[in-house]
Amino acid sequence: MKLLKKADQTLLTVLLTVALTILFCLILWFFLESQIDLMQKGYINGIAKNNEYIVNQVKAKITNEAGSEQEVIDIVKAAQNTGTRYWMLFSSEGALFERNADVTGVVAGMNFEELEKYYLRNGGDGAGPLIDLIQAGEFFSADVVKDVTAGNELISAGFVTVDGRTYCVATSILESYLFSSAKVGERIMLLRILFLAMSALLICLVTYLASARRRVLLQLQGLRDELKEKNLLVLEQNGDGTQNGEDPSYNPVSSTDPLTGLYSNAFFETVLHKLSKRGVSQIGAIVVRMSNYYEISTSMGADYADQALIRAAAIIKSHADPKDLSARIKAQEFALIKLESTDKLTLQTAKKIFHDLREIDSDARYVAGFAFKDEVFAIDNVMESALASTKKI
């Protein structure tokens, strides 16, 4: 249950880390959009200055050359008119000219209320404020949508008085043309794509690193639990015999083999049984047997044979990790169980042990084998596989 809670905590940490990373990217995205908006407004303001200069030129021409309303209209009609820029002329009563003869035929004579409704029918946005600016009689530049099919327009207007009447002279240019001609839209799109790609890469990287850290933490927790279980078993085996309601006269088998200092077979079997019930996987097993133990005991004495066993046990113990379980399972046989191991790691450890055993200067001969199992309940058959693979080293 404790491990499950630990797993839940680490999973929550991963999710929180990823969520914070996504939130960070969203904040950066909003900041990027605000900067793009400021950049676009700055660019439009620069164009507006140019628009105002052009309007002032037409105003000057009207002031110098026009003496009647028709002459004012003629000058505005003759002003430079392209597919992206056009001119408009308004009196204090309403529209006099817009864009070309076709559009003028529709809007000419409309008062401002009718003109606003006309723009709204075309999907316009901001037509009301535009009419208010025209009627206010002061120089202005405004971002307006008069026709949804054309999109945003930058309209700059000035006012001129001819023969006692005030006229509003305005020019409009499509913002889509401005952005496309300066390739502003392309650069903004490229910037957004680059940002999204970098954000996706950052989120994936953080997710991978957080998940990898979670796996490491869970593995370390598992190893700590394995070591704790081994320590508890040692305490039970070396205790006063009163654990679990046992009679005080009960004398448990020692967890340590008195000759070699490795775990005893009884303790080894107890640990394997407990690990088997937990269904552990990724288990490596290495077995070593002194094949001529009894011959040496008879010919050279029991002390000599025991010394050979002690040297072999020392070699096995020197290559065991703290989480490994090394034991003397028979009079002349040893076993090393590697927890949370891999096929490669088991092979490397076996090779080191076998090499060192071959280097011992004694009459002892050894046979050994090893196996690795990564499926659930591997510990039930990994020892059998290791024993079956023994051969002379």
Q: Which range is most confident: 6-20, 58-72, 234-248?
A: 58-72
Among 181, 199, 234, give the residue marking a domain's end. 181
8 A C-beta contact, residue 80 and residue 74? no
8 A C-beta contact, residue 189 and residue 179? no
Percent of the chain with pLDDT over 90: 44
Residue among 358, 348, 350, 354 at smallest CA distance from 385: 350
Q: Which range is most confident: 118-132, 207-221, 294-308?
A: 294-308
Residues in contact with 108: Cβ distance below 8 Å, sequence separation at least 6, in sequence order: 95, 96, 97, 98
Band the pLDDT of 240: cuts 50, 70, 90. very low
8 A C-beta contact, residue 126 and residue 145? yes
For residues 133 and 281, membership in a common domain is answered with no
Domain-located, residue 227 = no
| Residue 250 reports pLDDT greater than 60 | no
For residues 23 and 138, membership in a common domain is answered with yes
For residues 268 and 163, membership in a common domain is answered with no
| Residue 143 reports pLDDT greater than 70 | yes
pLDDT in tens, 313-339: 999 999 998 888 999 999 999 999 998
Question: Across all residues in the chain, what is the average pLDDT?
Answer: 84
Band the pLDDT of 249: cuts 50, 70, 90. very low
| Residue 312 reports pLDDT greater than 90 | yes
Compare 370 and 244 and report the one with higher pLDDT: 370
Domain-located, residue 244 = no
**Candidate from 156-165, 174-183, 216-225 with smallest mean pLDDT:** 216-225
Q: Return d(Cα 107, Cα 198) in angstroms, integer.
A: 51
Reduced 3-state DSSP string for the chain? CHHHHHHHHHHHHHHHHHHHHHHHHHHHHHHHHHHHHHHHHHHHHHHHHHHHHHHHHHHHHHHHHCCCHHHHHHHHHHCCCCCCEEEEEECCCEEEEECCHHHHHHHCCCEHHHHHHHHHHCCCECHHHHHHHHHHCCCEEEEEECCCCCCCEEEEEEEEEECCEEEEEEEEEEHHHHHHHCCHHHHHHHHHHHHHHHHHHHHHHHHHHHHHHHHHHHHHHHHHHHHHHHHHHHHHHCCCCCHHHCCCCCCCCCCECCCCCCECHHHHHHHHHHHHHCCCCCEEEEEEEECCHHHHHHHCCHHHHHHHHHHHHHHHHHCCCCCCEEEEEECCEEEEEECCCCHHHHHHHHHHHHHHHHCCCCCCCEEEEEEEECCCCHHHCHHHHHHHCCEEC
Band the pLDDT of 248: cuts 50, 70, 90. very low
| C-alpha radius of gyration, the chain, whole number | 45
8 A C-beta contact, residue 369 and residue 390? yes
Band the pLDDT of 370: cuts 50, 70, 90. very high
Q: Which residue bears the tokens 């850290």?
A: 213
Sheet architecture: strand order including 153-162 = 95-98, 85-90, 165-174, 153-162, 140-144
How much is the pLDDT for 89? 94
Among 120, 149, 181, give the residue marking a domain's end. 181
Q: Give me the count of residues in the chain.
A: 393
Domain-located, residue 120 = yes
For residues 262 and 121, membership in a common domain is answered with no
The pLDDT of 24-40, averaged and rounded, is 88
For residues 142 and 286, membership in a common domain is answered with no
For residues 172 and 78, membership in a common domain is answered with yes
How much is the pLDDT for 5? 57
| Residue 242 reports pLDDT greater than 60 | no
Q: Return d(Cα 361, Cα 30) in angstroms, integer.
A: 75
The pLDDT of 137-153, averaged and rounded, is 87
For residues 156 and 275, membership in a common domain is answered with no
Compare 44 and 388 and report the one with higher pLDDT: 388
How much is the pLDDT for 220? 62
Domain-located, residue 230 = no
Domain-located, residue 209 = no
How much is the pLDDT for 377? 60
What is the pTM (predicted TM-score) of this model? Answer: 0.43
For residues 58 and 169, membership in a common domain is answered with yes
Report CA torsion sign: 64, 65, 69, 73: negative
Domain-located, residue 325 = yes
The pLDDT of 165-173, averaged and rounded, is 92
Angle between helices 69-78 and 2-65 (to 10 degrees): 130
**Candidate from 23-32, 34-43, 159-168 with smallest mean pLDDT:** 34-43
How much is the pLDDT for 62? 92
Among 142, 164, 181, give the residue marking a domain's end. 181
**Could you tell me the residue range of the domain that residue 103 belongs to?**
2-181
Task: Compute CA distances 319 → 234, 350, 351, 354, whole Å.
Answer: 21, 9, 10, 11
Longest dimension (CA), the chain: 139
For residues 18 and 151, membership in a common domain is answered with yes
Q: Which structure tokens are listed for 136?
A: 């206010």
| Residue 151 reports pLDDT greater than 80 | yes
Q: Return d(Cα 304, Cα 301) in angstroms, integer.
A: 6
Band the pLDDT of 222: cuts 50, 70, 90. low
pLDDT in tens, 55-90: 999 999 999 998 899 999 999 988 877 767 899 999
The pLDDT of 279-284, averaged and rounded, is 82
Task: Compute CA distances 167 → 62, 69, 129, 238, whole Å.
Answer: 10, 9, 18, 108
For residues 175 and 258, membership in a common domain is answered with no
Band the pLDDT of 232: cuts 50, 70, 90. low
Band the pLDDT of 231: cuts 50, 70, 90. low
How much is the pLDDT for 322? 83
Number of domains in the chain: 2
Domain-located, residue 242 = no
The pLDDT of 372-384, averaged and rounded, is 79
CA 241 to chain centre: 54
Domain-located, residue 272 = yes
- CATH number of domain containing 173: 3.30.450.20
| Residue 195 reports pLDDT greater than 80 | yes
For residues 136 and 14, membership in a common domain is answered with yes
The pLDDT of 292-300, averaged and rounded, is 92
For residues 34 and 170, membership in a common domain is answered with yes
Q: Return d(Cα 154, Cα 174) in angstroms, integer.
A: 6
- CATH number of domain containing 357: 3.30.70.270
